[in-house]
Structure 1
C-alpha cells in the first residue's frame, strides 16, 4: 500500500481535503505503531556459511529479529541461518553490537531463538489472537537497510489460521530480507513474526517463492511466547505427531476416520484402530479432517492431548502424548506385477498377474495368468485394492492370498518381504497392441513435437511413441535438464528405443533461464503434467521425474509433488536434505545412478543408504565416470520404470 503525501498549497475541494486528511492520519498512525515497536526490533548479521541452499540464494546481508525477553533473548526466522553461518551478530536499536548464540529452534514454526549478553531490553508485546480480524491493518517492519528506524510496509491481515493453524496471512509487501521481522497492529503490538511457509510442504525453504505474490505468513506472537520457556531451555521443538493417517486430506475432506495407524506410534499405544472416527481433541470438535489438522498443527512433540473417538456405537477416550518422530513406514511386498488392462475394458474378477518377480514371496506360489481375488479377510476386485491391502502388512508378516487358476480357487499363505532394492537383470515388456484402425488420435500429436500450456510463452518438447494406442496407459518420464544444457537430442536418442519398447512418453520442460532452475518453476512442471494427463492415456503409478548432474531441482519437484510422481530417477546428484517421511498415501520409489566425480559418487551412495534407512524403496546402480549422461544404463532405468506398479 502506498502512502501519498500532499505538499501543494492551494486549498483542495472539500471531498479531496477529507481524503487527504484521512491519508495523513493513517500515515501518522502507521509511523506511531512503528515507533512503539522500534525498540524491540534488532538487526541480525551473519558471517560465513553457504551461499546457496536448495537452489535458493540465501540471505547474505542483514536480516531482522525481535526481542522477546528483557534478558537478551531474540526470536527470528530460521531461514536466516540456513547457510550455517560461522558467527552471528545482533545490533540493537541503540546501535550496540553483540555476538549472539543460537539457543534453540522451533522446527514446526521455522523459528530460531538467539541470546545476547544484554539486560534491560524491551520485549515486543503480543497482540491477543482473539482480537485478530481479517481486514485489519498489518504493518511489516524490518531493520535491514537503516539501523536508525525500521523499514515499513503496510497491508492487511488477509487470512487467519493458515498452515494448519500455525500462521496468519498478510498482503503487506515483503521479501526474504524481511523474514524474522514482525508484523504489528496500529497499537505497535506484535501480530506475528514473518517466516517462509507453504501449505504444501515442510522443507526448510518451502514458501520462499511466495514472497512476491502478495502472500506473507507470520507466526502469531502469542504462540511464540507460549513456547518461549521451552525454547529458552535449549529444547528443539518439533511438530507433534499422533501417528494416524486418513485416506483423504484435501480441504474438503469429511469425518476424521482413521485409515492407518503407525506401529508403536502414540496413536497405536493409546489404542486407536483403523476405522475409529476422531470427533474431539481437547474439547474441540473435529467433525472434519481439516479441523483436526488445524488444531494439531499448533501442537509440539511432548504435549499431551485428550482424544475422543467413535468406534461403532461406543465412545473411546485416550490421553496421547505427541511424538517428534515415528518409526519409518515400510510396505510389505508380494512380488507380482499386475496385469495392465485396456481402458474401458469392463469389469474383471480380481487382480490379474502378468508376471511374478524372482526371489519374491510369490515365486513358486503364484503364477502368471492367476487372478488374485482375496487378500487376508478382504475381497480383491482390482490391482489398486490389492496394492492397498499389501501396503498395510509389514515385511515379515504372513498373509493369506486367494487365487483363481484355471477356474479353480486356491489359497496360499505367504510371508511378505521388503520391496527389493535391485533391478531384475531381465524384465519382459508388457505388450501394447497396435492401435486399431477405428481408434483415432483426436488431433493428438505423436512422435517428437513441441507444445505449450495456457499462459506460458515457452515451449516444452515431448516424444510419444509412434504406435501410441490411447486404449492403453503409458508411463511418463519427465526430463529435468541440467543447468546450462537441455541435452534434448542426446536424451531422445538414448531413450527412443526403450520408450517405444516399453510404452514411455518422454516430456522435456525447459528452464526459463537455461542456466538454472528456480523453485517456483516446480509449478510449471506440475502444469505440464496436468496437460499431459488431459491429452494422453497415462499410468498414474508410473510417472517419473528424472534429473541429471546438479539435479537438485528434480529432487525438489519429486518430493514437492508426491501425489504426481511415483518415481524419482536421479543421476549424478546426491540428496542434500532429508525428505519428509515415506508416506503410504503417496508411494514413491527412487532410483539413483552413481555417476560423476569420486566425491559425488560417494555422496550418492550415502544418499541411497540414508533413503533405505528411512524405508524408501531406493535402488542404486553404477553409472559412467564423469558428468556424461549414463546412456549405458538406460535399459536398466527403463526396466525400473516398468517395475513401478509392482505389488
Structure 2
C-alpha cells in the first residue's frame, strides 16, 4: 500500500505538469490575441467621454482583420482601439457583424507583422477534454488565462460550445483552446435561454460559451466583404409543449414566413432537417439553429401518410406575432371511442372542450360551453396547447373557420378572433367565484434564498381548480409581505388568484440573481395549489393606477423577459424604466402579455413600440385596480 506522501508527491507533480501545459498552450496562441478598447461619445458631464472596460479580440489574417465579441458594439462609440501584443494601439473600424453568433469583424491599419490564428476546417473538440480560455487586459495587454473542461457542444440552439472555465467580460472575444494549443472557438457574452437578466450576467460563474472556429472560418469571406450575418428564421410553431417529447408535429405556420412560402402546413410532422433525421422538436431546433439567413435547407415531413420534401430559404425577419384569441376557456378531455380507434399514436386520443365562453369576445354568441373544437381550417385541433399556439400565430383581422361538434351535430363556425392587445378581459365566469374555500396568508421560505415572502392562497385541502397566480414584487426597503397581503385578501378570493408578495433581498435594489429566486417561488406554490400553468403573472405596485413607477417595476419586466416559460403576463407602470435585459422575440410557444394602466388613446412609453415589434401584445387597460389586475391574471389562460 502506498504511503500518503507518495500520493501527495504525485498530486504535486500532476499540478506542476498541468500548470506548465496551460502556460505553454496560452503562450502558443497569445501572439494572435489582442485587447479591444471602446471609448464612448456620451455619458460624462459636459460632454466628457467615457471608456468602457476593455475586452479581447483575435487576429484572423495578416491584413489587419480582428474578430471580437459583439459587446464592443452594444452602444454607439467614438472610437474602437485595438492594442496589439507589442503594446501599440490602432484605431479600428467595424467591417461587419455576425448578429447570429455575437461576433464583430474589425479592421486596423498597421505595418506591424501580425500573427493570425490558425483556423481549422473542422473542430475536433471532445466533451470532457481540458480547455484553456485566453484573453488580454489593460494598457500593457497583459495575458488572461483560465482553465476548465469542454462541458457541452451544440449549445445556444446549436451555435456554441460550452466550457466551465471562469471568464470575466475581459475574456470575451478571446480564444478557447485545447491543451495542445489548437484553437477551438471565440468566447462570446451569452447565457442559456432564461438564465439571467442580461447575457453578461454569467461572467466569472464557471460557464463560458464559444463560437467554433470552423464556423467562423466558413463565414469569414462574407464578413470581409462587409456582409452582416443574421440568424436564419423559418416560421414554424411546435405542437408539443415539451421540446424533448418524441413528437415533431407543427401546430401552426407563421404568417408570411419562409415555411408558409415553401408550402409547409399546420399538422405536418417533421422527419428530417437538412437530410438529418429528427425525433423531437429539440432536434429540429438545434439543426435549424446553425443556419443563417439566406441559407436554403431541405425539410422532410409526413402529411396525411405521404412523405414530402420542401426546400426552404431562411430569412432574417418574419412579421412579428400579433397574438389573437377566441375568448374561451378550453380544456383537454379524453376523445371518443371512435377517435381513439382512429388514432395511430400510443397515447389516448384527446379533444378540446369549450368549458366557458367569455362575454364580449369573438366567441360570444358563436361558441357554446360543451362545444368540441375539432379543426381550425384544415388543421386538426386535439389539445388546448396546440389551439393556443395556432391563435398566437394567427393573422390579425382574418376570419377563421372552426369545425365544431355540438351535441353530436357537426357545425362550421366562422369568426374573426380578437387581438390580445385590443383590450383587457375581466368577465370571469360566475362559476369561478362561487367556491367556498378558506384562504390564508402564510410565510414562504426557500432554501439558500434571503428573500422574505408570503403567499395568500386557499388551504391545501380546499384548493380550487384553475387558480391564477400573481407574484407581486415589493419595492426595495419595503418589508412585512404578510401584512402587505391583507389588503389583497378579498379580491384574491373573489377572482380565484393566488397572490405571492416577495421582498427584495437588498433594501436598496433588486439584483439580477433574484430572477431565479422568483421563479423558484412560483414552482414552490405550484406544488401546493392547483395553478393553471398559463395563468401566471409577475407584477409591481406600479401596475395599479395612481401608483408611481419604482425599482420593482423594472425588476418585474426583467423577470418576465428572462423567465418566459414561467410567466405569461407582466403588469407594470407605464413609466417603468426598462431593465438592461436582452430582448428576445416573443414566442408562440411561450407568449407573454404586457399590461399597462393607461388608456388606449394615451401615448405608450417609449419602449412599448419596441416590444410590439418583437411580438409582445401591450395592453393599454385604462384604469387598473386590484380586481381588474387579478381578473386579467386569471384570464391569461383564455384562448
Is this contact kept in 1: 2:36–2:80, CA < 8 A?
Answer: yes
| Match among 447, 456, 472 for residue 454 of structure 1 | 447
**3-state SS of paired residue (1:644):** helix
Q: How far, CA to CA, are the matches of 2:554 and 2:461 in structure 1?
A: 32
Is this contact kept in 1: 2:358–2:364, CA < 8 A?
Answer: no
1:137 aligns to what? 130
Q: How far, CA to CA, are the matches of 2:276 and 2:58 in structure 1?
A: 32
Is this contact kept in 2: 1:80–1:179, CA < 8 A?
Answer: no
Is this contact kept in 2: 1:36–1:187, CA < 8 A?
Answer: no
**3-state SS of paired residue (2:588):** coil
1:109 partnered with 2:101? yes
The TM-score with structure 1 as length reference comes to 0.81
Q: How far is 1:182 from its partner?
A: 1.0
Is this contact kept in 2: 1:372–1:380, CA < 8 A?
Answer: no
Quickly say closer, same or farther: Cα 1:117–1:254, change in 2 above 3 A: same
Q: How far is 1:372 from its partner?
A: 5.2
Per-residue displacement from partner, 1:50-81 (whole Å, max 9, x unpaired)? 88xxxxxx993222111112212211121344
**3-state SS of paired residue (1:45):** strand
1:50-449 to structure 2, matched below 5 A, reads 60-119=52-111, 120-126=113-119, 129-145=122-138, 147=140, 149-201=142-194, 205-206=198-199, 208-248=200-240, 250=242, 252-336=244-328, 350-357=353-360, 360-366=361-367, 371=371, 376=376, 387=388, 390-391=391-392, 393-394=394-395, 395-400=397-402, 402=404, 404=406, 412-423=413-424, 430-435=431-436, 446-449=439-442
Is this contact kept in 1: 2:351–2:374, CA < 8 A?
Answer: no
Quickly say closer, same or farther: Cα 1:191–1:392, change in 2 above 3 A: closer
1:589 partnered with 2:589? no
Is this contact kept in 1: 2:478–2:503, CA < 8 A?
Answer: no
| Match among 541, 557, 581 for residue 555 of structure 1 | 557
The TM-score with structure 2 as length reference comes to 0.82
Q: Which runs of 5+ in 1 are unaligned?
A: 1-11, 52-57, 342-346, 596-600, 624-631
2:336 aligns to what? none
Q: How far is 1:138 from its partner?
A: 1.3
Is this contact kept in 2: 1:351–1:386, CA < 8 A?
Answer: no
Q: How far is 1:486 from its partner?
A: 5.3
RMSD (Å), alpha carbons: 3.8
1:444-593 to structure 2, matched below 5 A, reads 446-464=439-457, 469-485=462-478, 488=481, 492=485, 495-547=488-540, 548=542, 549-550=550-551, 551-571=553-573, 572-573=575-576, 575=578, 579-593=583-597
Q: Which runs of 5+ in 2 are unaligned?
A: 44-49, 334-349, 543-549
Is this contact kept in 2: 1:66–1:74, CA < 8 A?
Answer: yes
Q: How far is 1:507 from its partner?
A: 0.8
1:40 aligns to what? 32
Quickly say closer, same or farther: Cα 1:20–1:467, change in 2 above 3 A: closer
Q: How far, CA to CA, are the matches of 2:491 and 2:194 in structure 1?
A: 34
Alignment coverage as a number of residue pairs: 599
Quickly say closer, same or farther: Cα 1:474–1:306, change in 2 above 3 A: closer
2:545 aligns to what? none
**3-state SS of paired residue (2:628):** helix
Q: How far, CA to CA, are the matches of 2:596 and 2:109 in structure 1?
A: 48
Q: How far is 1:522 from its partner?
A: 1.5
**3-state SS of paired residue (2:137):** coil
Is this contact kept in 1: 2:403–2:410, CA < 8 A?
Answer: no
